[in-house]
Structure 1
Amino acid sequence: MKTDRRVRDAPRNQEWFLTLLPVFPIVLLVMRLWYASRQDTQTLLLLVQTISPLGMLSAILLTTVWVLPVVVVGGRLLGTLYWISTGRSSWLVRAARRLPGWVAGLAVVVGVGTWQLRFLPTLMMLSLALAGLTVRERYPAHEELRTTFCYALPLIAAVLSYVLLWPAVVTAFAERDVATAILLTLPPVCVPLLTGPVPAASARVLTHGIAIAMAVFTPFLVGAVVMRAPILPLIALEITEEDSSKVLVGYMVASDDLMTTVLHRDGAVSFISNERLRSKVLCPDPGEVPRTWANLHGWYVEQSVISWLAPVSRRTPADSRCEGRPAAEPAPVSPSPSPSPTPAGTLGAGGH
């Protein structure tokens, strides 16, 4: 009976789940190409043939790297909170215990570098709450450690957060940006509320409900971000015609000695002979229009630490060709008048 019970209680073989991990990125890549081709099969086949998978995968990974802290820190936090509140195990607790502490620490470091400034207080809240719950779980008899990590440290972090972020908070309120103001002010005061157990009757609904919501909505959110990720360089081509020239702005698919293949923003494809090309310029990524001007000493709330600290190349004036207008012709330089020849036998001024 003991042997049968151990066999029955043993965790089932779940290695099949690992085979699903590479499927999601591949599906995202195919959907991104399908979206870029405007659901045209022939255009999709052209993009698959010419686009480098490594380059496209790199662009998508850089776009979705912020998901790692959400999944790791959030999952470990919810699992630990449920265990401390009820003392019972579940699939969420087992998943949280399979995440080592160094993985959670690495996820926090990634979040500090990749999350926007307005989301860093939320990351601090999750990190300190996880640290307090971990201390409660591992050292239940140490009252001093529990007081330090669950009350003193969150209070000090909240005060420092308000002191450092005060200029951005003032700017956010002045700009009437309510969402940014809440993100900068509310999370620090919520840390002490997350470092202790919740009522056992509502613990399962609270923790497992949030975990299931994260598991359901995170793929859709990642997919929406990936659909907007750039996968081709945006260029402007000035093409000569019979007696004029026009500018074509689109995404360069391929270029060789004879022709240049361009994907228009509406999904159409053009094959342009290189003999008709007058000029070619690489256009900047349009990106998203900033929604707020709130900043912390020049660090805008929609910027991450990496984008703020990384050196940026010197910006050049906007090229008219990227706006669909031909390049301005350079002003003709009038030749400088040559000095009149001096008649033979005549000396210049001051000559003797």
Structure 2
Amino acid sequence: MVRIPREKREKASALDVLTDLVKDDMRRVNDVIIKRMHSPVALIPQLAGHLIASGGKRLRPMLTLATANLCGYEGDRHIPLAACIEFLHSATLLHDDVVDESRLRRGNETANVLWGNQASVLVGDFLFSRAFQVMTDDGSLDVLRLLSGTSAVLAEGEVLQLTTSNDVDTSEDSYLQVVAAKTAVLFAAACQIGAIVAGRPAAEEEALESFGRNLGIAFQLADDALDYSAKQATLGKSVGDDFREGKITLPVILAYRRSSAEERNFWRRTLETVEQEDGDLDHAIALMTKYDALRDTIERARHYGAMAKDALRLFSPSPTREALTAIVDFSIERAF
């Protein structure tokens, strides 16, 4: 019998630990999601339900619940606000899949494949509207200011990504700006809400914003590397989806920067003009391996993960702090 080292067992169970920690509140969040998705227009709950029920980890709303717990909050405001975070995330996924012309998400056909681009965009707009209804129902100007600002940055991130699309000369700084806007800002808001509803001091708000932002960047960088990893198949996605769509992610940026002139021509053909042939994905992975692009992407993810964990040191030791610390490692190590 093969024994898994204790460290690996702990990493593998980190998501389960966090899920178990917030499971009672998460059931209430799911009730809010189901209730708020209701519409007399039958296609809306049908399409939105397809996305929300498609097996996502619900990590972002769980972060809201966990950080509220970390701050000692004992009320109920974090429940609908966690649902609000999930609505914002789901809306961006619907829009992303249309823009990227994606056909699969978590191993399932995307909503735009099943119902078309128009329906996907409009239901995404519906979910954004539902999120704003939840914000206004909460009645806090601080919450409204935070989440409305987050929505604006998410939209800016979508547009910013278009400017780097299929451009192999994209700089690492430019790509990190996209990551900060498209991914990290929602992680940051999800965590900062916990301190806001608990009425905690500004220092704790800032610490949780920093935790969420750096966790979000680490999470996305690990995702970048994961797309070129054989482990993708175990997570319900095929290897190389980003490559086939011509997406410029950090492993590509690092490999391209370190490549020879002939190798750069390969990257331009496959990612700028997206003229791909059999064997091109394997060659791309070989170049990433040759130039340590995947390894260095994970190293950068660990750098941001370390900053995320450091931000939690402001809070007293507790099972919740331990679970949030462990989720940082889980987010990065899932790429292996």
Which TM-score applies when normalising by structure 2? 0.28
> RCO (CA 8 Å, sep 6+): is it higher in 1 or 2?
2
